[in-house]
Amino acid sequence: MKFYYRLLPIVAVMFSVLFSQAQSLTRDDLKKFYDTNEYIAKHHPSSQVIDSLLATLPNANTTITIADMAPVFDKTMSMLFISKAVDGLYLSDGLRQGIDLDEARDAVSFTTLYPFRRPNDRDYRKLFDVFSVDSPLLHRAYLEKIPFMLRNSGPSEHTGHLRELISANVAESPLKAEALKVIDDFMPLAPGQPAPEVTLLDENGRQRSLADYKGRLLVVDIWATWCHNCRKKIPEYLAMAAGYDKDRVTFINLSIDKPDSHEKWLEASRKHSIPSANNLIVVPADDNGKSPFENIYCVGGVPRYILIGSDGNLIDAFAPTQLPALKALIDTNL
């Protein structure tokens, strides 16, 4: 027992040292995280090189959190520097845990340095941490990313909680207002939500609805005659559709062409042999802007695919645009 009490001061000192290390970060420490994040993204080095880089970081021998970083941020730092320093922290933590690089790296921001990936649970965990600490600069750096993230990847099952944190913890500002508005626009498209109803038209001008297909898995290919990549994918999409039981899965092609391109739409549909029964077009907007469908489904670009369950609820309103991945998603939900 006496030996135990003699150890207490030593243990206390050890914890004190670890705590002070985590709390005494400097600007140079942040730059190490920033530089490591950038180097790995640009060079995709070997695991040996990555291990050597991780060994030089401030969190090599102690735990560092985003709350430890927050006091070091100042107004002389760019929003890009702040966010990439944070990305470096979460990247290094993930790699140390043995997580694959593509899963550990950031996907909140769009980059050409990695293949496109939607934000995963780790990305949302980082966002939860960001908006749970008291740091206006950190909040600003990530508020700027929210609209772009949702427009590219759509909402997830975590988006509602993210909204709660932003609403409760972030000071009022135009950036906050924009982020919350975009989240509210996209939340009806979250997985599990009823597919929003909107009127569509078939080749003969008859009104149709996505609800017409309830009872079967529904795959929607959103395209336009002016979209080269859309038209390039149509033959592969139709070939994929031919491999499924029509009583279980319905594939439709939905054009967002404007009224002045109606004949081009019909001509392109015939050229690609799109089955007329499932060939639809959006109802045009009154002001020649975006159609009601594009507004409701937040269509910012095409091609885009939507997967709706037989119960009429959304499985993925931003389904993979790579058709092998789309097929895998369909098969998983049959």
- Among 165, 189, 213, give the residue marking a domain's end: 189
Cα 40 off chain centre by = 21
Confidence (pLDDT) at 286: 75
% of the chain residues with pLDDT over 90: 90
Q: How far is 34 from 21, CA to CA, in rounded Å?
A: 19
Q: Are 302 and 230 in contact (CB under 8 A)?
A: yes
Confidence (pLDDT) at 279: 97
Paired residues of 33 in beta bridges: none
Determine, yes or no, domain membership for 288.
Answer: yes
Name the DSSP class of 112: S
pLDDT digits (tens, 9 = 90+) for 20-59: 444 589 999 999 999 999 999 999 999 999 999 999 999 9
In a shared domain, residues 207 and 226 = yes
In a shared domain, residues 141 and 159 = yes
In a shared domain, residues 237 and 291 = yes
Q: How far is 191 from 307, CA to CA, in rounded Å?
A: 10
Determine, yes or no, domain membership for 52.
Answer: yes
In a shared domain, residues 27 and 156 = yes
CATH number at residue 211: 3.40.30.10
In the predicted structure, residue 7 carries a pLDDT above the cut 90: no
In a shared domain, residues 22 and 167 = yes
Supply the range of the domain harboring residue 279.
199-332
In a shared domain, residues 14 and 161 = yes
In a shared domain, residues 173 and 263 = no
In a shared domain, residues 27 and 147 = yes
pLDDT digits (tens, 9 = 90+) for 59-109: 999 999 999 999 999 999 999 999 999 999 999 999 999 999 999 999 999
- E-strand spans in 53-128? none
In the predicted structure, residue 171 carries a pLDDT above the cut 50: yes
In a shared domain, residues 113 and 209 = no
CA pseudo-torsion sign 287, 292, 293, 297: positive
The domain total for the chain is 2
Confidence (pLDDT) at 179: 97
Q: What is the mean pLDDT of residues 245-274?
A: 96
Name the DSSP class of 108: S
Determine, yes or no, domain membership for 124.
Answer: yes
Confidence (pLDDT) at 288: 65
Determine, yes or no, domain membership for 194.
Answer: no
Confidence (pLDDT) at 143: 97
- Among 189, 216, 243, give the residue marking a domain's end: 189
pLDDT digits (tens, 9 = 90+) for 105-145: 999 998 999 999 999 999 999 999 999 999 999 999 999 99
In a shared domain, residues 65 and 168 = yes
As a residue count, the chain comes to: 334
Give the containing element (helix H, strand E) for 317: strand 314-319
Tokens, residue 101: 């690089």
In a shared domain, residues 304 and 323 = yes
Q: What is the mean pLDDT of residues 251-275?
A: 96
**Phi, psi at residue 15, to the nearest 5°?**
-65, -35
Q: How far is 308 from 65, CA to CA, in rounded Å?
A: 39
Tokens, residue 178: 């924009």
In a shared domain, residues 165 and 312 = no
Determine, yes or no, domain membership for 181.
Answer: yes
Q: How far is 131 from 168, CA to CA, in rounded Å?
A: 9
Determine, yes or no, domain membership for 154.
Answer: yes
Q: Are 217 and 252 in contact (CB under 8 A)?
A: no
Q: Which residue has the tokens 């802007």?
A: 289
% of the chain residues with pLDDT over 70: 93
Residue 16 identity (one-letter amino acid):
S
- Among 144, 169, 189, give the residue marking a domain's end: 189
